[in-house]
Structure 1
Amino acid sequence: MKHKPFLPRASAWARPIHGLHVCLLLLLCVALPGRAATFTLPTDGSTVVGHLQVVTADSRNTLLDIARHYDLGYDDITLANPDVSIWVPGEGTRIVVPTEFILPPRPWVGIVVNIPQRRLYYFPRHKAKEKATVVTVPLGIARPGWPTPLGSTKIVAKEKDPSWVVPKSIQAEHRSQGEANFPDYFPPGPNNPMGMLALETGFPAIFIHGTNRPWGVGMQVSHGCMHLYPEHAVELFSRVPVGTPVRIINDPVMVGERDHQLYLSVSAPVNEYPGDQESLMVRAIDAVYAFRKQANTAEIDWDRAREAVKAQRVLPVPVSVGAPTLDEILASLKPEPYAFEPYGIEANDALPPGAPRPPAAAGSPEPAAAP
């Protein structure tokens, strides 16, 4: 059944502003290397890419530092490590890094966003004799009451260093929460909730854009737009052409196959779309049977499948009879020390880490919740 796209109750406009900021963003697009997770697409019928990793924390980094380094969001890292402190993991603590992903249903073309998974997949065109790849990054998704439209559209424009004219409905929301002086306009710059690079979709007022609150990536934070880490915004902006197809789906249960073993990944429903109240187990059963009509996989261990649905840990879980359990797989992984520097407070705005920072303009508004 096709869902009629939801038209948001608010509008936001991105307007290109020429000058210093545009020059800076052009420099970023050319000079800063992309680091979004990129995988070669399987050619053997598999639909799972990447592999789980385990690291040991040091005393300097939070779970969110580790997540960002490995192109993961808040939900990814916290659900994979439910018993670990977000802010003080503890020296030597084993951290599961869930860098294994079940790809969205075909067609693998353009951009596919899976809202419950809080993840974007970009399938760039490739030349003959080159291997096809997929780029995947985490997203901040819409908060309750502001659902992102489902369905197919395309990238209709790319905006360097947009400004944000705040819709009256969003102004009213903030003022009802006690923010009496919430601005009605944000100029371009590191404190702009639209970020410094934005991809405009064909859905009214819906953008895929950077953010001045990157630590919210992986959470429900927006008014319908999809938020990227600033460094991912740079990479996608430079690679995604206008006209790229965009498909936005609502699949909390993902089924995949690797080496004839079936995997199940289950995310919490966002409870904003028709059918979200349906039992996740019913969804899992339907998804498994539909997948097995097209793939030759081993028999299903339904006890494991029920455990995977109940846990909702996001990680792909092997659910075939005789396959190693997730716990056995994780126990077999040799942990590597995580010895990277923390991102620091300077990485908590709309500029990518390491980018030159322009001087703050007088009277610039404080960071704010994004569209």
Structure 2
Amino acid sequence: MMRNLLLFILAFLPLASFANVYSIPQDGSRLVGELQEHVVQKGDFFQTISKQYNIGILELMESNPGVDPFLPTPGTRLLIPTQMLLPDVPHKGIVINLAELRLYYFPKGGKEVHVFPVGIGRVGRETPEMVTKIKSRIPNPSWTPPASIRKDHLEERGEELPRVVPAGPDNPLGKFAIQLSYGDGSYLIHGTNKDFGIGMRVSAGCIRLNPDDIEWLFDKVKYGERVTIINETVKTSTEPDGRQLIEVHSPLSTTGGKADTVSEMKRGVVEFIGKDDVDYTKANDALLTRSGIPVNIQS
């Protein structure tokens, strides 16, 4: 009786987001996590499913091409992209890969990594790549929209933004903000007051997290901690067991149209694909599919 009552209550509670935590292999492997499967139930759609697993909507779409994100057919088996290659940068502090729309947080000790979906800058207001540090931590931040954003908002919506939006439910920064020591300090990692935009390109250049995620991260990070923002469409790894793994994401367009993965490839990726023990056909399929899931292309 008590168990049924608890399940009934939980069914009507909003879905809370919790970081996906992965153990970091100690043998030199960069592969973490395990793929999961979700069977679509009546009433499911990609936004509710992405919240359930705390992943981004676009990455869920990448791993399940051809499935209607708004009306997935009940009974459809979805692949949940909770397996990934760690970015090939120093595993310190915060690492954000724009192409993945993921934030990685590496606590000291090197034994685990916490992964969050993020919203990033939209076309025309792209989030820049950078290696920087945390300048300040701001609880209950106010928001001072730049003149350019106030101008765009007026032109697009016919509404004039106030010069300063105080802390509170109407503040788009949410309850917590982490200021980065980059440029004029206007780039933030912050929360949101809207149930929309995580795992998408919707911001004016800042990094947006779910409210629960930013609250957790805000409590863990420290002043001066390293922040690395990259834009790596293709990740590769030669694993200790000999597997040649590649993980391909859709490149970020700068025009609103589709970008070409092949033209975005960097020299290291080209050299990886050219290895003798790599199957070129498998590699080409991975580059074209862009599933966002690690694939073994060993010959």
Who is 1:175 aligned against?
154
Who is 1:84 aligned against?
67
CA contact (8 A) 1:59 1:88 kept: no
Who is 1:283 aligned against?
265
| Aligned pairs for 1:147-296 within 5 A | 147-203=126-182, 204-258=185-239, 259-272=241-254, 280=262, 283=265, 286-287=268-269, 289=271
Residue 98 (str. 1) matches residue 53 (str. 2): no
Distance in 1, matches of 2:271 and 2:195, equals 38
Distance in 1, matches of 2:107 and 2:26, equals 16
The change in CA–CA distance for 1:150 and 1:70 in structure 2 (over 3 A counts) is: same
CA contact (8 A) 1:255 1:291 kept: no
Distance in 1, matches of 2:175 and 2:244, equals 41
The count of residues paired between Structure 1 and Structure 2 equals: 279
CA contact (8 A) 1:255 1:288 kept: no
Distance in 2, matches of 1:288 and 1:121, equals 25
Distance in 1, matches of 2:125 and 2:199, equals 16
Normalising to structure 2: TM-score of the pair?
0.85
SS at match of 1:164: coil
Q: Deviations 1:70-105 (Å, cap 9, x if unpaired)?
A: 121011111112222222223222111110111011
SS at match of 1:215: coil
AA at the equivalent of 1:195: G
AA at the equivalent of 2:101: R
The change in CA–CA distance for 1:224 and 1:96 in structure 2 (over 3 A counts) is: same
Distance in 2, matches of 1:189 and 1:54, equals 38
Which stretches in structure 1 are left out of the alignment for 5+ residues?
1-32, 322-371
Who is 2:290 aligned against?
312
Distance in 1, matches of 2:34 and 2:106, equals 19
AA at the equivalent of 1:112: V
Higher relative contact order (CA 8 A, sep 6+): 1
Who is 2:8 aligned against?
none
Distance in 2, matches of 1:252 and 1:153, equals 21
Distance in 1, matches of 2:263 and 2:32, equals 24
Normalising to structure 1: TM-score of the pair?
0.70
Residue 146 (str. 1) matches residue 125 (str. 2): yes
Q: Deviations 1:8-63 (Å, cap 9, x if unpaired)?
A: xxxxxxxxxxxxxxxxxxxxxxxxx9820111111111101001111112113221
The change in CA–CA distance for 1:290 and 1:189 in structure 2 (over 3 A counts) is: same
Distance in 2, matches of 1:261 and 1:288, equals 17
How far the C-alpha of 1:198 sits from its partner, in A, is 1.0
SS at match of 2:142: strand
How far the C-alpha of 1:180 sits from its partner, in A, is 2.6
How far the C-alpha of 1:260 sits from its partner, in A, is 2.2
Which stretches in structure 2 are left out of the alignment for 5+ residues?
1-15
* Deviation >4 Å, runs of 4+: 276-279, 290-293
Q: Deviations 1:127-183 (Å, cap 9, x if unpaired)?
A: xxxx61111111111111112222210011111111111111101111111333444
How far the C-alpha of 1:278 sits from its partner, in A, is 7.7
CA contact (8 A) 1:37 1:137 kept: yes
Who is 1:67 aligned against?
50
Distance in 1, matches of 2:261 and 2:85, equals 21
AA at the equivalent of 2:246: L
AA at the equivalent of 1:201: L
Distance in 2, matches of 1:70 and 1:78, equals 14
Distance in 2, matches of 1:278 and 1:34, equals 33
